[in-house]
Amino acid sequence: MKVHVKKNDKVMVISGKDKGKVSEVIAVLPKVGKVLVRDVNMVKKHKKPSRANMNGGIIETEAAIFSSKVMLYCEKCKSVTRVAKKITEDGSKVRVCKKCDTVL
C-alpha cells in the first residue's frame, strides 16, 4: 500500500479519539498502510521482566493507526494540507504545501 507521509513529518490526526493532535511520525508501516505517531493512540502493554526491562510491569506505548487518519501539517499555514511535487532548479523533486507553496 502507498503511504502519503514519511518518517519525521508533522501530521495532524483528522479522526478518532485523538482528533486534532499535531505530532510527528515515528515510523511508517507501508505493508499494512499504517503509521506510528508520537503520543497518539497510546495503549498499555503488560511486559514480562527481561534483561532489557528488569522490573516488567505495565508500559504505555504508541500503537499504529491507519495512514488515512492523518494529514500533513504545514507549520507556516498552521493547518493541514495536501502535497504537490515540484522540481527545483537542480532537478530534484520536493514536496510543497498546496496552500502556501512552502517546502515540507
CATH classification of the domain holding 47: 2.30.30.30
Residue 81 within a domain: no
Quick one: pLDDT at residue 53? 81
Print the domain residue range for 29: 10-75
**Per-residue pLDDT tens digits for 14-43:** 998 999 999 999 999 999 999 999 999 999
Locate cell 487518519: which residue?
Answer: 69
pLDDT band at 7, cuts 50/70/90?
A: very high
Q: How many domains does the chain have?
A: 1
Residue 98 within a domain: no
**Per-residue pLDDT tens digits for 48-92:** 998 888 888 898 999 999 999 999 999 888 888 888 888 988 889
Residue 47 within a domain: yes
pTM metric for this prediction: 0.80
Residue 4 within a domain: no
Contact between 62 and 90 under an 8 Å Cβ cutoff? The reply is: no
Residue 57 within a domain: yes
Strands 79-81 and 70-74: antiparallel
Residue 19 within a domain: yes
Quick one: pLDDT at residue 26? 94
pLDDT band at 13, cuts 50/70/90?
A: very high
